[in-house]
Amino acid sequence: MIKEAIITDLQRIVGKENTLTSPEALKAYSYDGTTSWIEEPDVVVFPTSAKEISEIMKLANAEKIPVTPRGGGTNVSGGSVPIQKGIVLCTTKMNKVVRIDKENLSATVEPGVVLQDLTMMLMKEGLFFPPDPQSFLGATLGGIIAENAGGPACVKYGVTKQYILGIEVVLPTGEIVNLGGRTLKNVVGYDLLHIFISSEGTLGVITKAELKLRPLPQARKTTMVVYDDVSKAGEGVFRVLENGVIPNKIELLDNWVINRIEEMMPMGLPKDADAVLLFECDGIPEAVEKETEKIVEITKQFGAVDVRIAKDQAEADKYWLARRAGFAAVFGKAKTVMAEDVTVPRGKIPDLIKICKDLAKKHNVEIVVLGHAGDGNLHPAVLTDITNKEHYDRAVKAMDGIIEGAVELGGVLSGEHGIGLEKQKFFSKITDPVVVNMMKNIKKLFDPNNIMNPGKIWD
């Protein structure tokens, strides 16, 4: 429990109305988008400027109080859960888009701006910010940068780190520093900017960011490709790419997911398909037409049993709605769902799918596969029930097997969710101790008293 005097100090810094201490409010800031990590903070504060955050950090550093930064709380790693209690520093009230610079194709934003709000503002200007974590309705830019988030459009556009030109950040010791800048090229000394991207809030609080934008594509076209074998779908992904078409999205749904979606909202998905791939091409209209033709040709050549081009945006929207419903379909069907975001080099997708299938059989559990096949980032989900110990143990073994398998295929433990609390157990197992040590030393350099989101990434 932190001292009453500290609360008074915090109230002085951010104002009484921006300091929450009621038991109910503390409960509401005890969780994120995960199911298993819960811890209540001692106090929640809503600063409205970098200066206020600097004062909070100086106070917390002097008193050695843990500070957990939080935006929309949509993350799925446990990253914004205040596992060592202390202060939750919530940036949701710093939500201004400071500037949209059409000449430089860039925007300056505060950390609490919700991605979808930004997207809608940019659309009016004919611009867009490509990283598209699927939590865009609630995720804030501060968290998106700190987690180096990504989504389906990664195939063509990459992830967050490719779109951050500079940040203003408050260090755990209270200094306000600017890293990077507003230019596309920048080689002035060490690239400290990128240490903060995917730091998961353990190095400082991002208080402003300069984003790189792109012109909004004029046309989009969606194609659904049906397979009678999920491994062939995996192959379809890299065949399309190696033949010269880079769609902006390639998403995979397996038979189980297709059928759950059809139960939830019948929309005519092929229920007997072993898997479908959803492709979306975007760009100038003529190029989009040509690319779509090429996708049809290549996928048919490599084992697709049916190809449907969405005839209009309404049909396309239907397919993408189905894709988004995929997760709800999975979560609605089991008491506990272990969903991971292992990522393998694209060519290894069929192997990873096979590993999942074998493990499901071996441990007698249901494993469903959906995900961003286009970038090798799959979300195998093991369905179980945490209250049924025997079943849950088997599910854990299956999940361990998936992660080991992915790493053996040259992949990584997390493609877009981050380590947080959720994946610590695997992180220490598969990461070189020398590398972990380097990370710890970097952390110590920025945060000598270990107050900034402590307890995350490593145990």
Partner 1 sequence: MEDLKELKKVEQLADQCMKCGFCSFFCPVYQEDKIETSVARGKNYLVKQVLQGKQEFTDEMGTIIGKCLLCKRCVANCPSKTQIDRVVVAARAQMVKNKGLGFIKNFAFRKVMSNRKAFGRYVKMARAFQWMMPTTEGTIRHLPDFLKALGQGRNIPSMAKTFLRDQVKPVYKPANGQKAKMKVGFFMGCAMDFVFPDIGLKIIDVLTKHGVEVVVPEEQNCCGAAIYFSGDFETGRMLAEKNIKAFKDFDYVVTGCGTCSSTLKDYQKYLPDTEDQKKRYEEFEKKIKDSTEFLIDVLKIPPEEFKLKKEFEGKTATWHDPCHLVRYQNIKDQPRAILKALKGLKYVEMANADGCCGMGGSFSVYHYDLTKKIADKKMNGIKATGADIVVTACPGCMINLTDHILRSKMPQKVYHFLELVE
The residues of the shown chain that bind partner 1, judged by CB under 8 A, are: 20, 22-25, 27-29, 31-35, 46, 72-74, 92-93, 95, 112, 114, 116, 135, 137-138, 324-325, 327-328, 331-332
- C-alpha 319/C-alpha 436 separation (Å) is 42
Q: Shortest Cβ distance from residue 73 to partner 1 (Å)? A: 6
Q: Shortest Cβ distance from residue 417 to partner 1 (Å)? A: 13
CB closer to partner 1, 38 vs 430: 38
CB closer to partner 1, 112 vs 415: 112
CB closer to partner 1, 285 vs 332: 332
Please, are residues 274 and 228 in contact by the beta-carbon 8 Å criterion?
yes
Q: Shortest Cβ distance from residue 133 to partner 1 (Å)? A: 12
CB closer to partner 1, 205 vs 355: 205
CB closer to partner 1, 331 vs 427: 331
Q: Shortest Cβ distance from residue 351 to partner 1 (Å)? A: 30
For residue 361, which of 331, 397, 332 has the smallest C-alpha distance? 397
- C-alpha 154/C-alpha 343 separation (Å) is 12
CB closer to partner 1, 35 vs 243: 35
- C-alpha 184/C-alpha 166 separation (Å) is 10
Q: Shortest Cβ distance from residue 93 to partner 1 (Å)? A: 5
Q: Shortest Cβ distance from residue 456 to partner 1 (Å)? A: 19
Q: Shortest Cβ distance from residue 254 to partner 1 (Å)? A: 19
CB closer to partner 1, 88 vs 278: 88
Tokens 């208080």 correspond to: 207
